[in-house]
Amino acid sequence: MTTRNAPLTGSWKPSPLMVRILSAFVVLGLVIGLVLVGIYGVYLVVLILGGLALYEFNDLSDRMGSRAPAWLLFPLGAFFAFSGTVLKQVDVTLVLALALVGGLGAFLFLPGQRQGLSRWAMGMSGALYVGMPFNFYLLLYTSKPNGLVWTLFTIFAVVVSDAAALLVGSRIGRHPFFEAISPKKTLEGAIAGVIGAMLVMLVGISGVIGVNPLHSVVLGFLVGTSAIVGDLVESQMKRLAEVKDSSHLIPGHGGVLDRLDSILFPPILVYLYVTVFHLL
């Protein structure tokens, strides 16, 4: 007499929320571990995250109608990311001139000449979009004596801003905010996000570094608004590409660009502001 094993219909499967939380902890743990290694660990974080973001942008550009040439996108993106630190001795004007002449000139001979200009423009914009924010994060991080504090509170302000916008927008949000680009966003959520970023910078930058509270509030406003702009820019790209996520690299989260979108623009404004007012 033989028996059959009953199918394991009741086998446990992690919920989408659990997958999202676990993958977030894994990614966060890897990033924190590399940052604690020191400057070379930070460089490695930039290479990994920047490389994955450029890879996703390359795919999005194809879906938007003009695929960015990888031979222009990746080297130029890496250069922009390290242009203020490791590669600061390399003249940016020279690199841009070579990218202009060499990049456009190459499409006189490569297949698809009719799309040459749009593909070149997509490669340039993608390299700037991903590379330059990492450059300003590195400039903040390597600034003495409080570079790490400036970097961490800039990121933390964005995280709090995103959380506040999601919480308030989902609970009491009534007025659409850029509905054509991101239908779920509300004006109430956007305001809450900006206020959240202002509070973080006020408590963090004023309390830890001792910067004038007025500067901290302005910095918080810049971080909050630029985080919203960054989120909307990536949402617009995904809408043009007709995709929900930039990729499926991070379980429960989508792609790297989906996680980085709101933190890409803030370091640029923060670094420029603190440089102009000599706050570093």
Residues 137 and 157 in one domain: no
- On whether the CB atoms of residues 247 and 56 are closer than 8 A, the answer is yes
Residues 174 and 126 in one domain: no
CA-closest candidate to residue 132, choices 10, 267, 272: 267
Q: Does 260 map to a domain? A: yes
Q: Does 5 map to a domain? A: no
Q: What is the pLDDT of residues 163-219, one digit of tens each?
A: 899 889 888 888 888 888 988 889 999 999 999 999 999 999 999 999 999 999 999
Residues 197 and 135 in one domain: no
Peptide bond just before 7 cis, omega within 30 deg: no
Inter-helix orientation angle 70-82/92-106, to 10°: 170
- The predicted pLDDT at position 11 comes to 61
**Which of 96, 116, 142 is a domain's end point?**
142
SS3 202: helix
Residues 273 and 258 in one domain: yes
Residues 151 and 268 in one domain: yes
- The predicted pLDDT at position 20 comes to 59
Q: Does 235 map to a domain? A: yes
Q: Does 6 map to a domain? A: no
- The predicted pLDDT at position 35 comes to 80
Q: From its phi and psi, is residue 182 left (phi > 0), alpha (psi between -120 and 50) or beta?
A: beta
DSSP code of residue 264: S
SS (H, E, C) 125-152: HHHHHHHHHHHHHHHHHCCCCCHHHHHH
Q: Does 7 map to a domain? A: no
The percent of residues above 70 in pLDDT, for the chain, comes to: 90
The percent of residues above 90 in pLDDT, for the chain, comes to: 68
Q: How many CB atoms lie within 10 A of CB 193?
A: 30
- The predicted pLDDT at position 36 comes to 80
The residue-averaged pLDDT of 4-21 equals 58
Q: What is the pLDDT of residues 63-103, one digit of tens each?
A: 999 999 999 999 999 999 999 999 999 999 999 999 999 99
Q: Does 212 map to a domain? A: yes
CA-closest candidate to residue 84, choices 136, 161, 9: 136
Mean pLDDT of the chain: 89
What distances in angstroms separate CA 95 from CA 43, 77, 207, one per listed residue?
A: 21, 11, 41
- The predicted pLDDT at position 1 comes to 47
- The predicted pLDDT at position 72 comes to 96
Residues 248 and 186 in one domain: yes
| DSSP state letters, 236-250 | HHHHHHT-SSS-SSB
Number of domains in the chain: 2
Q: Does 35 map to a domain? A: yes
Please check the confidence at residue 271 and state whether its pLDDT lies above 80.
yes
Residues 112 and 171 in one domain: no
- The predicted pLDDT at position 248 comes to 86
- The predicted pLDDT at position 138 comes to 96
- The predicted pLDDT at position 208 comes to 92
Q: How many CB atoms lie within 10 A of CB 35?
A: 17
- Phi, psi of 114, deg, nearest 5: -65, -25
**Which of 124, 142, 160 is a domain's end point?**
142
Q: Does 73 map to a domain? A: yes
- The predicted pLDDT at position 19 comes to 66
- On whether the CB atoms of residues 178 and 86 are closer than 8 A, the answer is no
- pTM of the full structure: 0.90
**Which of 86, 117, 142 is a domain's end point?**
142
Residues 236 and 205 in one domain: yes
- Is the Cα dihedral 148, 154, 155, 157 positive or negative? positive
Please check the confidence at residue 110 and state whether its pLDDT lies above 90.
no
User: Which range is least confidently modeled, 6-15, 108-117, 147-156, 229-238?
Assistant: 6-15
Residues 136 and 32 in one domain: yes
- The more confident residue out of 16 and 261 is 261
Q: What is the pLDDT of residues 19-71, one digit of tens each?
A: 656 776 677 678 878 888 889 999 999 999 999 999 999 999 999 999 999 99
Residues 173 and 264 in one domain: yes
Residues 83 and 169 in one domain: no
Residues 174 and 127 in one domain: no
Which residue range(s) make up the domain with 85? 16-142
